[in-house]
Structures are given as structure tokens and as C-alpha cells.
Amino acid sequence: MIDIGVSDRVFVLTGAGVSAESGLPTFRGAGGLWRGYRVEDVASPVAWARDPLMVWQFYSMRRKAHRGKQPNPAHLALAKLEKALGERLFLCTQNVDKLHEQAGSRRVVHMHGRLFQSRCDRCDRPPFDDENCYEDHVPRCDCGGQIRPHICWFGEMPYELERIARELERCTVFMAVGTSGVVYPAAAFVAQARASGKQRVRTYYVGPEEPANRALFNECFLGKAGESLPRLFHWSQLSAISV
């Protein structure tokens, strides 16, 4: 069990394993190939410059794959935890899907972007919600620029790293759920939390296999996140201290 007190601040990092339990293929699934291309060669600024339609066909496929997928008990448990802790829970995900939001989480930070948002590749128009599939044309902005997926591609900087760093310094509990511990910078978050120096941070991992950075966690709860996570908290105690 994981005890959370009235003064604890909880940082949760989720990865592809959480979405996979809802039936979403992982980003590097199926051998890492799409139409014979490595995913790294499709999800990149170089690919966008070379063949933006191919990039949109890839992300249109991913948008279609999301249809009908539902949050699993791990997503629901984290939404319930947010309801109990309010702003003392910081939920950061490496996933670009919207399963956390479908489960009821309201303050999710998507460090790698959002599958159902798009933005202009030229002007400073903010990212906007977009569920369309573009398989035969590349959409255009009013400024004349091309509309691209709002995704952090290989070679680009993840989003909101300054905000994430502040929360890592503030947290007293760090939990990684369904993430392998090999994709940086997220794999370094647990080390950043432990190095804050302000207090002893309790660190936990939840997932089917030990992560590559196992040595940095106080406890590992091995198993499917949807089965393990709902059982890890004293829900009656959390209800008593809920905001």
C-alpha cells in the first residue's frame, strides 16, 4: 500500500503500458515499423519537411485506432486520486492519447503532445482540438502554413519541462506507472525527484516488468497497472482528507 498524508504532494508519470492495457497499440509496437518505415523516420521534423502527407496518414491511422478505446481501471484510479488530492496531484503522461481525460482527470500534462490536437507549422496560433483524419491532403492555416499534429517528434523538445521540473522539486511521493524507464528525459524524473534535497521522496513503480531504472524506486509493484493501482491506496483515508 501507498500511504498519502495531508501534506504530501504526489507526482505521477504514466507511460505507454497504461494505454496498452486499454487496447491501444504502443508507439513502437508491431516491430517499430509502419508501411516499412521505422516510426522514428515518420515522427520527425525531417519527415514532415520531406512528406507531410505521409506523416498525416500515419497520425490519421493513430486517431482511428483510438476510436472506441476506453480508459481502464488504472486511468480511473488516477482520476479518483486527483479528485481526492486536488492540486496536490501532478499527473504527467508520456502518452498522447486522451484516455486520462476520458477517465475524468482534469489537469493532465502531456509532455509529448496530444494526438487530437493540431497546430500551424508557421505562425504562433495556439494548438487546437482536432479529431479529423487527413489521408488525402495536408490542411492549411489561414496564414498559409501547414497544419501539423501537436506531437513532440524525435529531435524536438518535450513540452512543459520547466513546469515539470518545479513539480519534481515539490513532490514528496513520486510514482511511475507503465513506463519502461528507458525514454529520456522522462526516465530521469525519478532521479530528479530524489535529488531535490528538500525532503526524502518516496518513489514507487507500478507495471508488468521492472523498469530499466529500478534501483531508483523504493518499491516496485509488478503486474498490470489496471489491476495493481486501484489496490494501492487507502481510499477511505483519502476520502477523509479530500479537498
Is there a catalytic annotation at residue 75? no
Specify whether the CB–CB gap between 204 and 174 falls below 8 A.
yes
**Cell numbers representing residue 161 in the block:** 519541462
> Measuring CA to CA, which residue among 136, 104, 102 is closest to residue 116?
102
For 144, list phi and psi in degrees, rounded to 5.
100, -10
What is the rounded end-to-end Cα distance, in angstroms, of the chain? 21
Say if strands 33-34 and 113-120 run parallel, antiparallel, or are unpaired.
unpaired
CA separation for the pair 211, 139 (Å, rounded): 40
DSSP class of residue 226 equals H
Residue of 112, 137, 150, 234 with catalytic role: 112
Concatenate the DSSP letters of all residues of 151-205 into one string: E--TTSPPTTHHHHHHHHHH-SEEEEES--S-STTGGGHHHHHHTT-SSPPEEEE
CA separation for the pair 133, 40 (Å, rounded): 21
Say if strands 113-120 and 37-38 run parallel, antiparallel, or are unpaired.
unpaired
Q: Which amino acid is at 185?
A: P
Residues labelled as active-site residues: 112
